[in-house]
Amino acid sequence: MTGAPLAQLRFVDLLAAFRSPSPTPGGGSASALSGAVGASLLAMVAGLPNPRAQGPDEQRRLDAAGATGRSISDQLTGLMDRDSEAYETVVAAFRLPKGSEDEKRARASRIQEAMRGATDAPLEVMRACLDAIQAAAEVAALANPNASSDVQVGLELLMAGVRGARLNVAINLGSIKDPAYVEAAGKQAQQLEAEAERARRAAVALLPASTG
Amino acid sequence: MTGAPLAQLRFVDLLAAFRSPSPTPGGGSASALSGAVGASLLAMVAGLPNPRAQGPDEQRRLDAAGATGRSISDQLTGLMDRDSEAYETVVAAFRLPKGSEDEKRARASRIQEAMRGATDAPLEVMRACLDAIQAAAEVAALANPNASSDVQVGLELLMAGVRGARLNVAINLGSIKDPAYVEAAGKQAQQLEAEAERARRAAVALLPASTG
């Protein structure tokens, strides 16, 4: 990943970048992308006319949920790049010289540092997706009732973002040698996914004529 | 949705289109998009160097799976537009005049026809995603073993496409008055999702050091 942000590419060119047999952008960026589209759908539904919201207080809550969807979508758009950059830092660390003992030690330390960066990025994606899924409850309860399927599709894409990012956390933790970090990050990823699934169910339960 | 295909937009502008409080592009196009990215990830993994494939026969099978991923990704990219157009046809039918009895009958018939089109599009998305998920078995078994998480993220996005499209099938079937069509399409959607979930599990089971 060099040059312009991924989101500046035309979608066909972004797809071509995912298809090309170079490792970035890969699954981490794709997870962030999925969440960004999901959060955008929630923002769309929050802005539709004829909401269920009654009175200025409910309308404000709905507007706030829509604003959250937009800002998280922006955040996830940035995380598409951050994930690819973090992975390229890992690749660069592996390419460091390993002739002398000093070089070997420096390289091993840079690899570990880079692996943490490549773990923190998908953890950030998981957190952002969770925030959007939590905001979906207000959208489900207060927005135009005819857009229930759009809310649910948004939730599906956000959950794919959560699960995809967790797979990236897991694969990177496999290469990290600090057991305390591995345990803490693994536990955090597990909790984030469980919380996201709970929040998804809670939002779906608030939809009118729930299908879920 | 007017003018250029959605995939010709820069990704930021595509996100803005999803966010805007106009109903298209909506959840149907987002489901197709999710599948398109998932299929592209499978194509990427199939093309990585150092595959597990041994000999020309296995390499051919892996290449074929990669080609399937690319072609299904293209198909789903086209379905992003088709879904939005089908929905706009529904909106146009609802706007037809309903002054005379003849106009009412013509309008009702056009609405029903448009609703079928808006149901067929997500059914097509479900089928395309299923085809890619089935091709993922070869990728899982034969591609570079270090890209397991990319295969799984691809599968997550394809399953989000399947489930998202099914939600769109369901919502449209609610407005179709032909019980035979409703039953057949509902059953087909259910079977496609069940088959997709089976195929996903089968592919994951073929991954080296499977995480689940």
Least confident of A97-106, A116-125, A196-205, B1-10: B1-10
Chain B residue with the nearest C-alpha to that of A34: B34
Bridge partners, residue B10, by sequence: A10
Q: What are phi and psi of A10, to 5 degrees?
A: -60, 150
* Per-residue pLDDT tens digits for B186-204: 999 999 999 999 999 999 9
Q: Please check whether residue A32 is in contact with residue A161, taking contact to mean a CB–CB distance below 8 angstroms.
A: yes
Q: Please check whether residue A10 is in contact with residue A29, taking contact to mean a CB–CB distance below 8 angstroms.
A: no
pLDDT at A1 > cutoff 50: no
> Band of the pLDDT at A19, cuts 50, 70, 90?
very high
Q: What is the pLDDT of residue B2?
A: 54
* Per-residue pLDDT tens digits for B122-147: 999 999 999 999 999 999 999 999 99
Name the nearest CA neighbour of B143 among B199, B202, B208.
B208
- Report in angstroms the alpha-carbon separations of B145 from B40, B53, B132, B163: 18, 10, 19, 28
pLDDT at B49 > cutoff 50: yes
pLDDT at B30 > cutoff 90: yes
pLDDT at A210 > cutoff 70: no
Q: What is the pLDDT of residue A22?
A: 86
Q: Test A153 with B31 for CB contact under 8 angstroms.
A: yes
Phi-psi region of B163 (alpha: psi -120 to 50; beta: other; left: phi over 0): alpha
Mean pLDDT for B39-48 is 98
Mutate to test the interface with A, among B59, B91, B115, B150 (most CBs of A within 10 A): B150
Nearest beta carbon to residue B27 from set A27, A149, A171:
A149
End-to-end CA distance of chain B: 39
How far, in Å, CA of B153 to CA of A122, rounded? 12
> Whole-prediction pTM value?
0.96
**Is B67 in CB contact (< 8 Å) with chain A?**
no
Mean pLDDT for B154-159 is 98
